[in-house]
Amino acid sequence: MLALPPQLLEISPHQLEVAETLLQVGRFLVIFIAARAIAEVMVRLQLPTILGELVAGVLIGVSGLHLIVPPETQAQLSAAAAGLVGALAEITPDAVREINVETFPSLQTVSQLGLFALLFLTGLESELDELVAVGVQASTVAVTGVLLPFALGTAGLYYMFDVPLIPAVFAGAAMTATSIGITASVFGELRWLKRREGQIVIGAAVLDDILGIVILAVVVAVVGGGAFSIGPVLKLCLAAVAFVGVALFLSRKAAPAFDWVVDRLKAPGDVAVASFVVLTLCCFAAQAIGLEAALGAFAAGLILSASKHTHDIDAAVKPLVALFATVFFVLIGTSMDLSVLNPFDPANREGLIVAAFLLVVAIAGKVATGWSYLSKEPTNRLVVGLGMMPRGEVGLIFLGLGSQAGILTPALEAAILLMVIGTTFLAPILLRLVIPSEPGESELKALEQSS
């Protein structure tokens, strides 16, 4: 807003504001240009754009240009970026780096809004009746997809690699997650979200999230040294069941009430704001009873999927998803440190071997879920299995918690990271390879031509 004379203060409030604005705006700029450029390449290769967003994140993140460096990675903002912003705001590059760390949470909030918007949209576009119809199959897939990787991973690490029990259990637990964000995004783009396979995978991913919360609670309670107490675990299970039950009930009853209210609103932007109120209410309620806020976002979409304003809500949410879910996926990419993949660094070798084992188990354990359920109607079981595969942000959250608690050795940390990266990148590629040979091909071609 103004140029303060340099003698006034070392870093004036003005310089601080300029640097903050440049960093905030500049980060969006870098994220969107990179994501869009790689996404366009992916579309031409007939791969899902989310893969482009992840790759874009890797290129500009801690494994690449260091333009976007989440503080928890401990990486440093690139000298060029810090120098440029420093020169423009007339402060030192070190001060820029400090401001970068301090203002980063704002970007993460925007990214979180993107995840919520994506899950809300996923819920909104779900056919509730179909989701209920696949309830049994989804539950079987979810439970299998949790038990198999957990059992195989823990046992393998403990018996084959002599990893102590607690880290082995933790690594096994980290393999149980399914990234509903990545799955929903890929299925949505390939127009398989409303198919039976899509509904099973989304339902299973939601249940997985709930199971994941329970497993994590148990594991951390055990690791925390306290005796394993059944109380909190039971409480979480009950909360999860109650939440899903209430959401299912409300989706039948609350949508007419929502429509009644919206019809009575006269101020502009009524549908967008009213939907956002439902969204934040559900997120708050989910978090308040100890579940993930993201689960609330999905439930909110599910509740409003019966509204007669679905089309308007959809139109209001889509730009939010286009903008902010991109930020979410790019940020996942930026925090992936691919240097652990370098086989020429001897320090990486142990991790790479363990990682190869974990990756195989992680893939096999989830792909096998495709054959775990009974279905009268024919479904593409490989698509279901592959859809359950990406660990994405949920895997990274597990990893972050394990790191923080000091449970994991560097090699095991690297191996889990590699398992997360591998499943996250392979799932969209493999799904894209599997899906064109399906009856949906003509539909897809029409879609590509029209876009």
Which parts of 170-199 interact with a copy of itself (CB under 8 A)? 189
Largest CA distance in the chain: 78
DSSP string, 282-305: HHHHHHHTTS-HHHHHHHHHHHHT
Choose the stretch contacting a copy of itself; rule: CB under 8 A; options: 312-320, 368-376, 385-393, 419-427: 312-320
Choose the stretch contacting a copy of itself; rule: CB under 8 A; options: 12-20, 122-130, 302-310, 413-421: 12-20
Choose the stretch contacting a copy of itself; rule: CB under 8 A; options: 4-12, 199-207, 406-414, 417-425: 4-12
Nearer to a copy of itself (CB atom), residue 303 or residue 352: 303
List the one residue from 73, 287, 375, 409 that touches a copy of itself (CB under 8 A): 287
Residues 216-245, interacting with a copy of itself (CB under 8 A): 216-217, 220-221, 224, 226, 229, 232, 235-236
* DSSP structure class, residue 321: I
Tokens of 199: 């509904």
Is residue 263 at the binding interface for a copy of itself, with CB under 8 A as the rule?
A: no
Choose the stretch contacting a copy of itself; rule: CB under 8 A; options: 100-108, 135-143, 152-160, 335-343: 100-108
Dihedral of CA 84/88/94/99: which sign?
negative
In sequence order, what are the residues at sequence separation of 6 or more whose Cβ sits closer than 8 angstroms to the Cβ of residue 341?
348, 352, 418
Size of site (CB under 8 A) for a copy of itself: 85
List the one residue from 59, 68, 77, 113 that touches a copy of itself (CB under 8 A): 113
Residues 401-420, interacting with a copy of itself (CB under 8 A): 401, 404
Cα–Cα distance measured from residue 277 to residue 283, given in angstroms and rounded to the nearest whole number: 10
Nearer to a copy of itself (CB atom), residue 12 or residue 144: 12
Among 399, 403, 433, smallest CA distance to 419 is for 399
Residues 373-402, interacting with a copy of itself (CB under 8 A): 397, 401
List the one residue from 3, 165, 241, 446 that touches a copy of itself (CB under 8 A): 3
In whole angstroms, the minimum distance from the beta carbon of 438 to a copy of itself comes to 20
Nearer to a copy of itself (CB atom), residue 253 or residue 318: 318
- Enumerate long-range contacts of 310-318, CB under 8 Å, 24 or more apart: 310/124, 312/271, 313/124, 313/271, 313/272, 313/275, 314/121, 314/124, 314/125, 316/271, 316/272, 316/275, 317/117, 317/120, 317/121, 317/124, 317/275, 318/121
In whole angstroms, the minimum distance from the beta carbon of 443 to a copy of itself comes to 16
List the one residue from 80, 238, 265, 347 that touches a copy of itself (CB under 8 A): 265
* DSSP structure class, residue 227: P
Tokens of 326: 């991109």
Nearer to a copy of itself (CB atom), residue 329 or residue 357: 329
Residues 16-75, interacting with a copy of itself (CB under 8 A): 18, 21-22, 24-26, 28-29, 32-33, 35-36, 39-40, 42-44, 49, 52
Nearer to a copy of itself (CB atom), residue 40 or residue 441: 40
Residues 420-449, interacting with a copy of itself (CB under 8 A): 448
Burial of 71 (0-12, 13-18, 19+ CB in 10 A): middle
End-to-end CA distance of the chain: 43
List the one residue from 15, 78, 100, 112 that touches a copy of itself (CB under 8 A): 112
Nearer to a copy of itself (CB atom), residue 52 or residue 385: 52
Choose the stretch contacting a copy of itself; rule: CB under 8 A; options: 59-67, 243-251, 322-330, 412-420: 322-330
Contact criterion met (CB below 8 Å) for 182 and 427: yes
Nearer to a copy of itself (CB atom), residue 128 or residue 397: 397
In sequence order, what are the residues at sequence separation of 6 or more whose Cβ sits closer than 8 angstroms to the Cβ of residue 264?
none
Residues 348-377, interacting with a copy of itself (CB under 8 A): none
Residues 120-179, interacting with a copy of itself (CB under 8 A): none
Choose the stretch contacting a copy of itself; rule: CB under 8 A; options: 92-100, 106-114, 378-386, 414-422: 106-114
Dihedral of CA 51/52/56/57: which sign?
negative
Choose the stretch contacting a copy of itself; rule: CB under 8 A; options: 75-83, 103-111, 244-252, 364-372: 103-111
Nearer to a copy of itself (CB atom), residue 126 or residue 275: 275
In sequence order, what are the residues at sequence separation of 6 or more whose Cβ sits closer than 8 angstroms to the Cβ of residue 405?
220, 223, 224
Cα–Cα distance measured from residue 246 to residue 347, given in angstroms and rounded to the nearest whole number: 50
CA 12, distance to chain mean position in Å, is: 38
